[in-house]
Amino acid sequence: MPPRPHPTSSLQSWRSKTPNRVHEVLAPATVPDAPTFIAASPELLSCWDDVCDKLATLGVLSHVDEGVIARYVAMLERHRRASAFLERHGSIFEVRDGTGNLRQIKTHPMVAEANTTAAACLKLERELGLTPAARVALPTNATKSVPTEDDEMDDIILGISQ
């Protein structure tokens, strides 16, 4: 399988001279509306808002990514529900025969659900730039640090004015 093509901004951040896409289309920076199935659920809508806020902070939010964000939010909520179920009930269960004797111990099917949704979430997080490794590929101007009170105090002490 050939390597995935990378956006020009990624290649520039890696100091590469030749981008692998000559005519790259840049997505407009706009906030997408939540799809109806997400807007109908308070949990999904809260997750949608959280993910959109994170992507906006990174400078990579666009309405053209609505489908990817919707799938990520749905998978993330399914993973949270599976994990909560496993916390309450455990990851194994006992199978007993008609007389009550223990026959075997099995892994609960929700373990597979949690693992599958975790893997799907990780793939989408990489696509959206929500992992540390994926953020390396983001343009450097998209990940500006938020100034803190200490930074402002350092500027005052050092006499730096804006």
Model pTM score: 0.68
Q: Can you give the pLDDT at residue 157?
A: 61
Q: Can you give the pLDDT at residue 142?
A: 47
Q: Can you give the pLDDT at residue 158?
A: 61
CA distance 116 to 82: 10
Residues 93 and 106 sit within 8 Å (Cβ to Cβ): yes
Dihedral pair phi/psi, residue 39, rounded to 5° = -65, -25
The predicted-structure confidence for 97-138, as pLDDT tens digits, reads as follows: 999 899 999 999 999 999 999 999 999 999 888 888 887 776
The sign of the torsion formed by the CA atoms of 17, 22, 23, 27 equals negative
Domain residue ranges of the chain, discontinuous segments joined by +: 31-158
DSSP designation for 66: H
CA distance 146 to 155: 15
Q: Can you give the pLDDT at residue 136?
A: 76
Q: Can you give the pLDDT at residue 59?
A: 82
- Which residues does the chain have with pLDDT short of 70? 1-25, 138-162
Residues ≥6 apart with Cβ < 8 Å to 77: 41, 43, 44, 47
Q: Can you give the pLDDT at residue 62?
A: 86
Q: Tell me if residue 2 falls in helix, strand or coil.
A: coil
